[in-house]
Structure 1
Amino acid sequence: MPAPERIPSRGLTEEGLRTLLAEGELTVLGQVRGASNAVLYCTVAHEGEVRHCVYKPVAGEQPLWDFPDGTLAQREVAAYEISEATGWGIVPPTVLRKGPYGEGMCQLWIEAEPEGDETTAAPSNGLPPLLALVEDEEPGEGWKAVGFADVGEGRTALLVHADDPRLRRLAVLDAVINNGDRKGGHLLPAPGGRLYGIDHGVTFNADDKLRTLLWGWAGEPLTPEATEVLDRLSAALEPGAALVTRLAELITTAETEALRGRVESLRTSGRHPQPSGDWPAIPWPPV
């Protein structure tokens, strides 16, 4: 796949970016390797604006035993809609559209800050790394423990993530959308200190599927900010609301009801969820 190239272009609003993604001409440049489903690296051009994007055609999705076939693209768009409803803007602009290989998800390409090794995303803007493996039994100051990992040769190391408010927002979003695959490689620190989460195809299942590397706040009280966001999200998920109408195009009624139930459960408990024990809590591979 060609290396990302900065394309000069004047600024666009969020709505403008969605229009560009939905109506622009898609040109496939290459394939993102290592993904379980087809992920195509493209440019999208519309009315003089050009951006890089990711196009995931439904035809390139691999069947999953616990999700209906051909629904992962819609779930990615639904995750974007919920992200926008929170006001956090954690998920890059994402639309459902037709492309060279049929209908699929089209998402703005995020040019991430340079990373460190395979377990550490180290922004160059002075912010701390997001994930690390450490030899200690307890996390150091500014870190949250996830659990011990086998690092080979009979050795274990403690997997930790940063005690970072950007990650904490993402942990709340994942609990809301029931993300079954929050890996380290799905965290994109962008220029300017912004953090995005990507790859949200395995979400919104009516059953508990939460698998994440962001368990460091499990059982801890939600922040006041998160509580306010959940209150707004609860109102936005009332039957007949615009968000519910939009979600009806993307996920099932039962999944929307389960989504509403997760929001209410978080509001009632006032705490980050803990692993249920009924499902592997950490995705594999973790990165």
Structure 2
Amino acid sequence: MSAPERIPPRSVTSAELLAEGELTVRGRIRDASNAALFCRVALDGQEATCVYKPVAGERPLWDFPDGTLAGREVAAYEVSEATGWGLVPPTVLRDGPYGEGMCQVWVEANPETELLALVDGEEPGHGWKAVGFAEVGEGRTALLVHADDERLRRLAVLDAVINNADRKGGHLLPTADGRLYGIDHGVTFNVENKLRTLLWGWAGEALPPETVDVLKGLKDALGEGGALGVRLAELITQAEVDATHARVDALLTSGKHPEPSGQWPAIPWPPV
């Protein structure tokens, strides 16, 4: 009698693991502004660490409807995936131990990669882009700079598309394998211009040709019947989807990175 045929375990994608796996809370991330829980998720013999942010733990904001931040985090992931740049870790909306919430793959940052710095003088130096001057104590100021890095430039474009109101230094996660991820996208997709970021170094500069091609693809995907527009409408309001489409149009029309509007603080506080 022959031995029974072994059925190999099915391959599980990160999104499936997050959405369908058993979620076990291991601890709380204390410095998060909303409830953020460090978890393990397991499915069919595969495991990963992740962050789970239940809607019930969201703090009310005056300029965003209550209970919508988790959906905005997932919407940011969907736009990132549509660009092909993969700048946001896999993120899903799912039920968990404390109700519905956002679940995102945990990314371990490489502390040796320097993306932000404070420098003396008025020029950023080779390989860096100036953001602005910052007080550093005792009446001194220093020039805040970020790396002139193509990965950061793509992230700056993504932030302009999703209208990110809170791109801080601590939300930038470079990894040891050379990837860069952005996290914490709860305050995005507002219909009003709220772009606040540390990545102003390319403000007013022409968009790279590759970026223009990506934006054209987003425009099509957000248009009537487009897959991205349909998906976003499940996560944010139709008015917010339309505003996203309008921001993509505006970037294509100008052909340039946006500049601070002067009507809203351009840099988040605290910046890191």
TM over 0.5: yes
**SS at structure 1 position matched to 2:13:** helix
Match of 1:76 among 73, 79, 93: 73
Equivalence map 1:168-179=2 (5 Å): 168-179=153-164
Per-residue Cα deviation, 1:125-172 (whole angstroms, up to 9, x for no partner): xxxx21000011111011100000011110000000000000000000
Which residue of the other structure, out of 248, 256, 262, is the alignment partner of 1:271? 256
Q: Give 1:185 deviation, angstroms.
A: 0.2
Q: Deviations over 1:221-247 (max 9, x none)?
A: 001111010011111111111211111
The one-letter amino acid of 2:267's match is I
Q: 1:37 — aligned with what?
A: 34
- Give the alignment of 1:165-244 within 5 angstroms: 165-244=150-229
Match of 1:87 among 84, 90, 93: 84
Instruction: Tell me, yes or no, if structure 1 residue 59 matches structure 2 residue 44.
Output: no
How far does the alpha carbon of each residue in 1:182-239 deviate from its partner, in whole angstroms, 9 at most, with x for none?
0000000012110000000000000000000000000000011110100111111111
| Counterpart-to-counterpart distance in 2, 1:84 and 1:278 | 30
Q: Specify the SS of the correspondent of 1:38.
A: coil
Question: Equivalent residue for 2:24?
Answer: 27
TM-score calculated relative to the size of structure 1: 0.90
Q: Percent identity?
A: 73
Gaps of 5+ in 1: 1-11, 116-121, 124-128
Indicate the SS of the match to 2:67: coil
Aligned positions, number: 263
CA–CA distance in structure 1, aligned partners of residues 152 and 179 of structure 2 = 11
CA RMSD of aligned residues (A): 1.1
**Match of 2:268?**
283
1:46 paired to 2:31:
no
Aligned mates of 2:171, 2:253 — CA distance in 1 = 29
| Ranges in structure 2 where 5+ consecutive residues have no aligned partner | 1-9
Matches within 5 A, 1:239-254: 239-254=224-239
Distance in 1 between residues matched to 2:226 and 2:253, nearest whole Å:
22
Corresponding residue to 1:16 among 13, 18, 29: 13
* Alignment partner of 1:148 out of 133, 137, 155: 133
Whole-angstrom distance in 1 between the partners of 2:132 and 2:109? 26
2:109 pairs with 1:112: yes
| AA aligned opposite 2:66 | D
Q: Distance in 1 between matches of 2:224 and 2:163?
A: 20
Q: 1:67 Cα deviation (Å)?
A: 0.2
Q: Shift of the alpha carbon at 1:112?
A: 1.2
Runs of 4+ in structure 1 off by over 4 angstroms are none
**How far apart are the structure 2 equivalents of 1:34 and 1:85?**
30
Structure 1 residue 46, shift from structure 2 partner: 0.4
Partner residue, 1:118: none
Question: Residues of 1 paired with 2:131 and 2:226: CA distance?
Answer: 37
Distance 2:97 2:198 in 1: 35
Q: Normalization by structure 2: what TM-score?
A: 0.95
* AA of the residue aligned to 1:210: L
- The Cα of 1:42 is off from its aligned counterpart by 0.2
Q: Which digits, 9 at most, give the CA deviation of each residue in 1:12-50, with x for residues without a partner?
A: 98x711000000000000001111100000000001000
Q: What one-letter code is carried by the residue in structure 2 that aligns with 1:63?
A: P
Distance (whole Å) between structure 1 residues aligned to residue 243 and residue 146 of structure 2? 28
C-alpha distance in structure 1 between counterparts of 2:73 and 2:175, whole Å? 20
